[in-house]
Amino acid sequence: MNCVSLEELEKQIPTCTSCPLHETATQKVIRKGSENPKILFIGEAPGKNEDETGVPFCGRAGKVLDQIIDYMRLDEQEWAVINTIKCRPPNNRNPNKKELQACRSFLENQIELLDPKVIILLGNTAETAFVGKGTLGWGECREIDGSKVLKLYHPAALIYTRSRIPEQHQFIDANRKLWE
């Protein structure tokens, strides 16, 4: 897929039929935030609220992501968020390898066109889709293909395990130099 612009790519996503998930999706979930972000957050897959609205991280996990963004002291022009896949898997299950592969070109093109300084992978599924399972430790930053890549806990994980929030703050504080 050779896209000329972010706008062109984002017009192609709603017409995708590369995997069966498009059959049950209410809306494709494309992006939220800046077209020129310093930081790109990558989540795993749309949930129920995202499927209904077409907006990533608009439910409970989105409120936690907003808190993370506030803690990072980012303004609205400094960040964007996308998901590894654009359609909601049934019953909020994790996307499978075929689904991740079907959306891979969209993910790669979004990253290339958004051209962030830092990529933050939110959880294990984002890590698997981007670099392969077990590549990064929590809060660890590596340079991968010319980008600084950091893995943080997914906001939904922080809803269910609030005790990880101080640890997440430590990860952010240890890497703050990447975006400040």
Spatial separation of the C-alpha atoms in residues 180 and 177, rounded to whole Å: 5
| 8 pLDDT more than 90 | yes
Q: What percent of the chain has pLDDT over 70?
A: 98
Helix, strand, or coil (residue 120): strand
- Out of 11-15, 37-41, 134-138, 148-152, pick the least confident: 134-138
Taken in order of first residue, the domains within the chain and their CATH numbers are: 6-178 (3.40.470.10)
User: How many helices (H) and strands (E) in the chain?
Assistant: 7, 6
In whole angstroms, give the CA distance from residue 165 to residue 142: 22
pLDDT mean over 134-142: 89
Q: List strands edge to edge, sheet with 79-83.
A: 32-33, 79-83, 39-43, 118-122, 147-152, 141-144
Q: What is the distance between the alpha carbons of residues 74 and 72, in angstroms, rounded to a whole number?
A: 6
The neighbour count for residue 70, using CB atoms within 10 Å, is 9
The closest of 120, 112, 50, 51 to 81, measured between CA atoms, is: 120
Is the pLDDT score of 3 beyond 80? no
What's the predicted TM-score (pTM) here? 0.94
Average pLDDT over residues 71-95: 95
Q: For residue 82, is pLDDT > 80?
A: yes
